[in-house]
Amino acid sequence: MGTGFADHLATLDESTLAALLRRRPDACAEPAPRDLGRLADRLGGRASLAAALRRLDRDTHEVGRAVAVLGDRATTDAVATLLDADPELVRRPVALLVDAGLAWPDDDTLRLPDPLAEHWLAEVGGDEPIARMSRHVLADELRRVAAAHGLPLASRKPEVVQALHDAWREPGFLRARLAALPPRTRRRLSEICRRDIGDGRPSADDQRLLDAGMLVLEGHVARIPREIALASWATEASLRGVPDLPPPTDGADRAADGAGAAARSLLDLVTTVLDEAAGTPVTALKSGGVGKRERARLVKRLDLDDDHTACLVIDLAAHAGLLGLTDAGYAPTAASVAWRDDDAAPRWSRLARTWLWLDHAPGAREADGKEVAPPLPLVSGAGDVRRALLAATGDRSVRAAEARSRGSARGTGSTAGPTTTASPPPCPPPTARPSCSASSSATRSAPWATPWSPGATSPPRRASTCSTRPARSSCSPT
């Protein structure tokens, strides 16, 4: 019997389990799970999975799709073979999936939560396997497909199906067949696999796919066997590894001095705003948040740089638990007293973690053309971009990479060694909990007025629709 997710969680030591929960902060939301079985259910729920997927890089998504495709055969070496990649490039995404609770090892096999496996298989696309599809396809059509692939023809339908099944399972058979197609035709196959049918009329590329045996006709509708779709995806999939970014050009000492000065400046700004709010609470709008007029007053009175700075300070102070809403407006919280008495390093650390885990960019506070006043929560992908960028750069420099890129364009580029990956910070202070509901998208077919048409008669694909709602968390920044 294989190892289930709850059983895997039970094998983790305290520090490893804590690191997993830091990567999946929604699992800490109240009411907190009381045992590992309930924790496994929450981590494997569609809402939690949707939130976690937004934090994955491209390579990790590709490896996850490969694991879903391979199923019970999903070992690290098998994934590397399927993606035609160096096993070393596969191990990092596999470790990220396991560390984030999106996969777990069962001996040498990688397992995925069922909703996640369904999601990634749907992204790969395709229809039923040829063995199941053949029940609805005429024997002559199956012989046409077999002949297009250069397979010996048999008189009985089961023998033709078995020949196709055996040939398509051979590593490299379909990859070689697809490589022989023109690039434009391969792109068209990928579009059809993703249900991007087009304008409703068959093209020359569609006819090439039919002639090459990549499409199977069921009556007047062309279907794509799952084996073909998987081979099409695997041909395009590739692993790039972590970005190769250069180190900062200013030198470590100068960079540290600049960062220290910026940190001290932000601490002074937050402290100044808290002092102002202690004397006169910051006026709140009836709908919540601090409006433009009140922010303009703060900018003028406290000599802040601009409205962007005011939004940043209000967001950081509120989301760090230092500024809270009272009947009179926004005022310092009890936690702000202890924060002010602490040393500079932990005070800065709390603000930095808060900024890292904000979902939005404090200076971009518009939704549907209207401003969302700080510090109200705002649904945005800016936080995911911020965290992905910091994880990819590590101790390297984006500005230096831009300079190197410009230098390369002039023929003066330099090279640098591999980059490092930043580890996630301690448990963030989440202000919203993702919520997903699974919905079935109807299968699509193209009723072309021709003898055949690419279409889809596969089971409905499940899609996730996500929203956010306020939630409390048992995690708190330390």
Q: Over the stretch 378-429, which tens digit does the pLDDT of each residue have?
A: 888 888 888 877 877 766 665 665 566 566 555 544 433 333 333 343 444 3
pLDDT at 27: 86
pLDDT at 65: 95
pLDDT at 362: 81
pLDDT greater than 50 at residue 109: yes
Mean pLDDT of 30-45: 91
Mean pLDDT of 158-175: 91
Per DSSP, what are the bridge partners of residue 463? Answer: 439
Report yes or no: 348 and 268 within 8 Å, Cβ to Cβ.
no
pTM for the model stands at: 0.65
Report yes or no: 164 and 151 within 8 Å, Cβ to Cβ.
yes
The neighbour count for residue 47, using CB atoms within 10 Å, is 21
Inter-residue long-range contacts of 153-160, CB under 8 Å, 24+ positions, other chains counted: none
Distance, CA of 40 to CA of 24 (rounded, Å): 12
Mean pLDDT of 215-226: 90
Per DSSP, what are the bridge partners of residue 371? Answer: 366
Distance, CA of 416 to CA of 399 (rounded, Å): 14
CA distances from 423 to 20, 94, 301, 390, 394 (A): 12, 16, 40, 10, 9
Q: Over the stretch 379-393, which tens digit does the pLDDT of each residue have?
A: 888 888 888 778 777
pLDDT at 402: 59
pLDDT at 194: 74
pLDDT band at residue 306 under the 50/70/90 scheme: very high
**Domain spans in the chain, listed from the N-terminal domain onward:** 1-242+421-478, 263-385
Q: Over the stretch 317-372, which tens digit does the pLDDT of each residue have?
A: 999 999 999 999 999 999 999 999 999 999 999 999 999 888 888 878 888 888 89
